[in-house]
Amino acid sequence: DGIAMSEVAFIGDSDGDVGAIEAAGLGFAPANAYDIAKQAADFVTQGDLLAGVGEAYLACLEANGVDPVEAVVSAPGVFSSVS
């Protein structure tokens, strides 16, 4: 009933995010996060801001055996340009 926390990924960068980082199945902190968030995380990204989010997204795909290129190809319309 619902999504188990073990199936949730969360990325956070401050002390207010620590509980969610620890509760998630995969907890991420970007490179520019506070030390307390980095210590709570399962994975600290090399990039910050959007680069860090991208790294976390790719790590989640790979952890679930999903080829990142295939994920983009199989999502028609999601990555198409808007005119």
Tell if the pTM clears 0.95, that is, is over it. no
Phi then psi for residue 12, to 5 deg, are -150, 160
* Cα 11 to Cα 52: distance, rounded to the nearest angstrom: 9
pLDDT digits 0-9 by tens, 36-58: 999 999 999 998 877 888 888 88
Is residue 34 a contact partner of residue 18, using CB atoms and an 8 Å limit? no
CB neighbourhood size of 13 (10 A)? 21
pLDDT digits 0-9 by tens, 2-40: 999 998 999 999 999 999 999 999 999 999 999 999 999
